[in-house]
């Protein structure tokens, strides 16, 4: 956090009075008062000395008592000098002052990473919405959830800290619904099913993920339904309960039906069509608006290459 003296320069100074008869930890109460800020961010403010109780610098565990005066100084978000706004075409499915839902094309990385500092979706968003820097901090301003580089379709980005925190909670609590389409190798024996299998780093290849049965795996649940049989291939629709890295790709490979074109989890190199990456598309995203609560459901049309793949397989 930038070294800013308490109450000096740009920023917002809030003075609150603790009203309750029973004591409560300072950090817990402040999170309840400022729902647009995450608990981690409130704790960073406290650690930086930006919170005072009755004029004395507070600590996260400081117990508040009825009538205590709490002053919270919120300096402006840190600038992110390494994030360069770049003009790029964005396929906007929904946008208002609080959030934007995009149809991401294949080949576009969501956020900068070491060795990949520009040309990402975040760079395009910074050009489209100049207010994004500082939301959520770090290298992923406003990013609520990710899509792999070659996965296409719906992705939501928050335009304010409050929208970001509330949308992340919706993803965690499964209030937001995410549905995907994929073309896979082979035909499942059932018409639908659920994969509950923990995902962790691959024991031999750290760049990959795998279903693991030791303590390193995180709970992962994927519901799938057979949409269409396509000879030696199938079109499946998925609904995610969790959002682990590469979840659908790992679970499909675990089922013995890897996604067509997947360069990491499918060993088949002879494809019905030249594919730059996996045939996986985030077709639908449903969420409650983070500010006024109404349900928003966005559908992303299938990319041209996905449609062509289906045409080729239907003609066989």
CA distance 117 to 220: 30
Task: Show pLDDT as tens, one digit a residue, over the chain (316 residues).
Answer: 444 567 666 677 889 999 999 999 999 899 888 766 777 778 888 998 999 999 999 999 999 999 999 999 877 665 556 678 889 999 999 999 999 999 999 999 887 765 667 888 888 998 898 777 565 555 557 788 889 999 999 999 998 888 988 998 998 888 999 999 999 999 999 999 999 999 988 888 878 999 998 777 889 999 999 999 999 999 999 999 988 889 999 999 999 999 999 999 998 878 888 888 999 999 999 999 999 999 999 999 999 999 999 999 999 8
> CA of 34: how far to CAs of 9, 38, 140, 230, 235, in Å?
21, 8, 22, 52, 45
What stretches of 212-311 adopt beta strand conformation (E)? 221-230, 233-240, 280-288, 295-299
Catalytic residue from among 27, 148, 150, 262: 148
d(Cα 280, Cα 178) in Å, to the nearest integer? 13
Name the CATH topology of 12-74. 3.10.290
Our answer to whether residue 232 is catalytic in this structure is no
Correct CATH for 92-315 of 3.30.2350.10, 1.10.3720.10, 3.40.50.1820, 3.40.630.30: 3.30.2350.10
Question: Residue 257 has what pLDDT?
Answer: 97
Instruction: Please tell me what DSSP assigns to residue 39.
Output: H
C-alpha–C-alpha distance, residues 209 and 211, integer Å? 7
Would you list the domain boundaries of the chain?
Answer: 12-74, 92-315
- Residue from 135, 185, 138 nearest 156 by CA: 135
Residue 119 tokens read as: 């040309």
């Amino acid at each position: 956090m930038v070294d800013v003296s308490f109450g000096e320069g740009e920023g917002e100074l809030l003075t609150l009075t603790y009203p309750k008869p029973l004591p409560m930890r300072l950090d817990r109460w402040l999170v309840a008062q400022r729902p647009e800020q995450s608990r981690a961010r409130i704790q960073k403010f406290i650690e930086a000395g930006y919170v005072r109780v009755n004029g004395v610098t507070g600590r996260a565990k400081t117990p508040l008592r009825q009538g205590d005066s709490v002053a919270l100084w919120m300096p402006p978000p840190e600038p992110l000098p390494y994030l360069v706004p770049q003009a790029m075409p964005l396929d906007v499915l929904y946008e208002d002052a609080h959030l934007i839902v995009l149809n991401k094309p294949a080949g576009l990385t969501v956020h900068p990473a070491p060795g990949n500092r520009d040309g990402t979706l975040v760079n395009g968003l910074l050009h489209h919405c100049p207010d994004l820097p500082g939301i959520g901090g770090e290298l992923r301003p406003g990013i609520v959830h990710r899509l792999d580089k070659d996965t296409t379709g719906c992705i939501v980005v928050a335009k304010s800290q409050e929208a970001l925190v509330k949308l992340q909670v919706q993803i965690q609590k499964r209030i937001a619904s995410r549905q995907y389409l994929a073309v896979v190798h082979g035909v499942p024996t059932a018409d639908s099913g659920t994969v509950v299998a923990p995902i962790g780093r691959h024991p031999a290849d750290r760049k990959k993920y795998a279903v693991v049965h030791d303590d390193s795996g995180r709970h992962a649940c994927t519901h799938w339904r057979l949409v269409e049989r396509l000879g030696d291939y199938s079109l499946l629709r998925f609904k995610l309960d969790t959002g682990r890295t590469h979840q659908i790709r790992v679970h499909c490979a675990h089922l013995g039906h890897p996604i067509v074109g997947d360069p990491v989890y499918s060993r088949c190199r002879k494809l019905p069509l030249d594919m730059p990456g996996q045939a996986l598309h985030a077709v639908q995203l449903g969420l409650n608006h983070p500010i006024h609560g109404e349900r928003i459901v966005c559908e992303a049309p299938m990319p041209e290459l996905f449609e062509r793949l289906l045409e080729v397989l239907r003609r066989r």
